[in-house]
Amino acid sequence: MVFWSRMKSRFWLGGIILLLVFNAALLIRAAAPASDDSGYPNAAVFSRALMLIRQDYVDDKKISYKDLTYAALRGMLSGLDPHSQFMDPQDFKGMQDDTRSEFGGLGVEVAMRDGNLIIVAPMEDTPGFKAGLMSGDQILKINGVSTDKMDLADAIQKLRGEPGEVVTLTILRPSTKEFKDYPIERAIIKVDSVKDARLLDIGDPDGYKIGYARITQFNEPTAQDLSKKLDELQAKGMQAFILDLRNNPGGLLNSAIDVCGQFLPPNQMVVYTEGRVVSQRRIYRTAENGRQRPRFPMAILINGGSASGAEIVAGALKDLNRAILVGETTFGKGSVQSVVQLPDGSAIRLTTAKYYTPSRQVIHEKGVSPTIRAIMTAEQERQLFLSRREDVSTEAEKKELANFRDTQLERAVDALKGVMVFAQRTPEASSKAAGGPQ
């Protein structure tokens, strides 16, 4: 009897407290305007829902405070944008491990767009690239599991893992409406970022020497490697230069800034960030002791697979009249994520700012538009990917590549030749080649 008496007392006391809290919330809510965004009334709504779930939900194994809080945080962060996310302690530790060491993966940069998991670009010489994945491909399933309800963090976790394991991706290619399964073996991802540096064979009777180099992604040695290639091309008499950033998914921000420093004056603003608070305002500049190169005419090739760091480089050199852009509008991935650890070892990754080009053009969800628009067909894009593979061996593939024309590269060559002809005819314009004064 004493036991039941105590239980009844606790029950009534708890009920009275909940009733008082609930009634107080109702009174505050009634007194507040409909558009009120103050904390307490909304926190009371959340608390009431939490209480009802713990009280009435059928499965008591799913209603611990920790599980419900983590689920709420996941929904809260994923509802903001595709790049904000909640990480439980295990996920957060995995993210830290990935940034400190090598990891096994497929070599594809992925993002969420309109609720779909898509490939921004496959990195050259990686398993995903060799398998034939392309920019814009939509990942429908990972190892048979639908990506419909996956957030970006879940998808990346499933794509990464032990090297040597096979991951099967079910792909929809929007350009051809083709569905296909791609079994791909994970590998340690190491990519040479500067490739194919050479003087182009343009068959020009006037003897113009146009250099070319391709950056596949931005990592620590990229700017240094590019500098060496530019030295070699200048030693061969290069008069103009084409930088190919097509299907470059980005990489390290500082590397992208340093690449800009190869073509811009020292201490030149390249990009800046802005958020809701003053602390998120930050300006990124080229190095103060940067080396000055001749102001040769320059073009940059871009497409829908150019993202993040590639967009920063393209946007800066376009805004500062240092290069013309040829191709298609870039992907539009230009936001800053800050990672904040929470008291229990979990963390949130929160979008806190956006990148802006020197002329205050926002990159995120807008992309960088070309100076000269040159569109490739789906077949030409497939041939472009094929031309960059090192394992082309079949006679059919070799024959196909023999007839391939890189129309975007051709447009860039024509544009630079026009700039050089104009500069020769009007010497006073030579300092303004490829866009005018800095």
| Residues recognised as catalytic | 308, 319, 333
DSSP 161: B
In the numeric block, which tokens belong to residue 298?
A: 């320059």
Contact of 236 with 245, CB cutoff 8 Å:
no
* DSSP code string of 311-374: HHHHHHHHHTTS-EEEES------EEEEEEE-TTS-EEEEEEEEEE-TT--B-TTT----SEE-
Contact of 313 with 420, CB cutoff 8 Å:
no
CA distance 140 to 170: 5
Residue 351 pairs in a beta bridge with 337
Report the helix count and the strand count for the chain, using DSSP H and E. Answer: 12, 19
* DSSP code string of 173-188: ETTTTEEEEEEEE-EE
Rg (CA), the chain: 27
Q: 10 Å Cβ neighbour count for 196?
A: 13
CA distance 209 to 240: 7
Contact of 32 with 38, CB cutoff 8 Å:
yes
Q: Is 381 exposed, middle or buried (0-12, 13-18, 19+ CB in 10 A)?
A: buried
Contact of 84 with 351, CB cutoff 8 Å:
yes
Contact of 200 with 210, CB cutoff 8 Å:
yes
Sign (positive/negative) of CA torsion 288, 289, 293, 294?
A: positive
